[in-house]
Amino acid sequence: MQDSSADTAGPDDPPLTGILVADFSRVLAGPYATMLLADMGATVVKVESPAGDETRTWQPPVRDGVSTYYLGVNRGKRSVALDLRDPGDLTAARELARRADVVIENLKPGGMAKYGLDHETVAAANPGVVYASISGFGSGAGRHVPGYDLMVQAVSGLMSLTGDPDGSPYRAGISVFDVMAGNHAVIGILAALRHRDATGRGQHVEVNLLSSALTGLVNHSSAYVAGGVVPYRMGNAHPSVFPYEPLPTADRDLIVAAANDGQFRALCEVLGSPGIADDPRFAHNADRTAHREELRPVLVALLAERGATEWFELLVAAGVPCGPINTIDGGFAMAERFGLEPVVEVGSGDRALPTTRHPITFSATPARYELPPPELDEHGAEVRAWLAAPEQPARERSGPPDPAGPADRGTPGGTGEDA
């Protein structure tokens, strides 16, 4: 069994130091998950086909000729290109899986079995392995269906909730369920590692986009499952809360989210009309929601007196949740203003790259940003040599040799099949 971080990490090292991840995933959900693991200290070896992860070709936009899509989810990894149809490369891939603490893959269910890299085969040689599989629709009756985020946005019902009530449904602006499934995979992997620490046993962690979607639809899922109600799109309106939507001001729209009676009263006071909160039609959230068509024009008229930025300052000072609708540059600017330091630099010298900060702050074991997203097979020679060498005692088995320093790890990616 691969040695755990508890035996190899110092008190100030990232929490997953000493954990070796064999990453056979590609595109987004899996690579996003393994990037987060790498940020937290795991050694991640990204196994790519000779053609490379598809996102290397998803451009524009680019930075120095490299897809920013690929750059956004592949820092902290070490790349080795392996053709699993080649006996020598397949032997190396199997040895990597045998040594790994974590194996993650997102081929169609059953796709790894033809290479002898499925959970059952890997676990026979590596009983402590945490093996994570990400699919579109699970390993049962939906195993044959390719899994792409846009498909899941459609079939899960999300698109029926997104867009104007009288218009066409819209996709979300990002691959929301790929990202959600990646986060769920990280949660499952960490829980399984905790179980392994306690018992010595690994297990198979399965995540699928549709299940992630249905739990991620939260109140809408509950409306159907618990209430028998099928929600439909309401534009930017919320089915259960008002005001909780964009409202026009003197210059541009402002999100106003006065979700309880205290916040609504504060909103009315800042707007200069505190009596609105005493109107029986608007006294409580259920009343405001029922009479939203009467309340909305009253609020719009008052908000027309100032611009969105000025209202934002006044309302936030009074404890009313609100915010202007920014473009992404404005979102980063606001994070900078609040001291969140959203951009960090990964790598050094001519490989230095600005990247988005890991979302979790650790008081004692901060995330690290040392390996830039790798070029295809950038670390192939050293990874192959390490796998061909005799395995070291457990306390020395923290991953491939580290030419760039003790925190240099790696990255896995994809084999070119549908997830």
Annotated catalytic residue within 3, 53, 101, 178: 178
Q: Considering only the C-alpha atoms of the chain, give the largest distance between any 2 of them, rounded to a whole number of Å.
A: 79
Assess contact for 24 and 34: CB atoms under 8 A.
no
Whole-angstrom distance, CA of residue 340 vs CA of residue 334: 9
Whole-angstrom distance, CA of residue 220 vs CA of residue 269: 32
Assess contact for 258 and 264: CB atoms under 8 A.
yes
Q: List strands edge to edge, sheet with 77-81.
A: 77-81, 43-48, 20-24, 102-105, 130-135, 203-208
CB count in 10 Å sphere of residue 294: 12
Identify whether 53 is a catalytic site residue.
Answer: no
The structure tokens listed for 215 are 């739990």
- Helix H, strand E, coil C: the string for the chain is CCCCHHHHCCCCCCCCCCCEEEEECCCCHHHHHHHHHHHCCCEEEEEECCCCCHHHHCCCCEECCEEHHHHCCCCCEEEEECCCCCHHHHHHHHHHHHHCCEEEECCCCCCCHHHCCCHHHHHHHCCCCEEEEEECCCCCCCCCCCCCHHHHHHHHCHHHHCCCCCCCCCCCCCCHHHHHHHHHHHHHHHHHHHHHHHHCCCEEEEEEHHHHHHHHCHHHHHHHHCCCCCCCCCCCCCCCCCCEEEEECCCCEEEEECCCHHHHHHHHHHCCCHHHHHCCCCCCHHHHHHCHHHHHHHHHHHHCCCCHHHHHHHHHHCCCCEEECCCHHHHHHHHHHCCCCCEEEECCHHHCEEEECCCCCCCCCCCCCCCCCCCCCCCHHHHHHHHHCCCCCHHHCCCCCCCCCCCCCCCCCCCCCCC
What's phi and psi for 357, nearest 5 deg?
A: -60, 145
Active site residues: 178
